[in-house]
Amino acid sequence: MTHVAPAGQKPKTVVGLIKQQDAQATAMTDAPPDTPGPRTQPDDAQQDDFAPRHYPIADQIVRQRRIWKHERIGFVVLLAFIALALSGLFASGPLSRHIGSSPQQRLTVEYERFLRNGASSRIVLVARTSPSARATLRIDQAFLRAHVVESLQPQPLSARSHEGGLELAGQADERGEFSLYLTIRPDGIGLVRSTAWFEGDSVVFTQFIYP
């Protein structure tokens, strides 16, 4: 992109001198072939490219320059926008991916902090208990109201409603871990504060859903 010519700079002497020479050169060589007689040398106002002109159109160069300046600022803003998108501020990226754990590390929730309305995402709940034990996980109502749960893996041994939320039971593996993968499609807009529980341990995770 181009840039930023120093706006409104007063011509300094050296610059003025160069301009003078330019103008003389222009007067000597740039005469249109079919114009009779020598051309008048541009005066000071004409030499300044940013001085307003009144003929053949009355241009509004000051305002137009402001518009050009805004275009340049806008371009920088767009670059910043792309940088933020790459970093994950608009979902799927290092800024967005997050793992929340309960104080005793018995429950961890892996989730995206930023989501987009209608775009699928994934949440992984991992509960740590004794080997092959039965584990019961709960997810609260706020989560289910903001997202459509598209799939649930593995299929829980039992599932039931619990205070408007969901209670899911499964069996831990021989290392005592029970992982539950949820594919979700956000169906709301704005901040959603959800909670997941496992035997008295809880993880609160906040997600922002873009429109």
Among positions 14, 30, 38, 174, the unique one binding other proteins when judged by CB under 8 A: 30
For the bound state, the minimum distance from the C-beta of residue 144 to other proteins, rounded and expressed in Å, comes to: 20
Q: Of 72 and 160, which has the nearer Cβ to other proteins?
A: 72
User: For residues 32 and 94, which CB has a smaller minimum distance to other proteins in the complex?
Assistant: 32
Sign of CA dihedral 17, 18, 23, 29: positive
Shortest separation between residue 3's beta carbon and other proteins, angstroms: 9
- In angstroms, the first-to-last Cα distance of the chain is 31
Could you give the 3-state DSSP secondary structure of residue 68? helix
Determine which residue in the list 20, 21, 24, 46 makes contact with other proteins, applying CB under 8 A.
Answer: 46
Q: Compare residues 103 and 211 and give the one whose CB is closer to other proteins.
A: 211
Q: How do beta strands 114-116 and 201-210 pair?
A: parallel
Q: Where are the beta strands (DSSP E) in 25-120?
A: 97-101, 107-112, 114-116
Burial of 169 (0-12, 13-18, 19+ CB in 10 A): middle
Smallest CA-to-CA distance from 99 within 200, 196, 198, 211 is with: 196
Q: Residue 135 class from Cβ within 10 Å (0-12 exposed, 13-18 middle, 19+ buried)?
A: buried
Show contacts with other proteins in window 56-85 (CB under 8 A).
Answer: 56-57, 59-61, 63-65, 67-68, 70-71, 74-75, 77-78
Residue window 131-170: x/- pattern of binding to other proteins, with contact defined by CB under 8 A: ----------------------------------------
In the complex, the residues that contact other proteins under the rule CB under 8 A are 1-2, 5, 26, 29-35, 39, 42, 46, 49-50, 53, 56-57, 59-61, 63-65, 67-68, 70-71, 74-75, 77-78, 118, 211
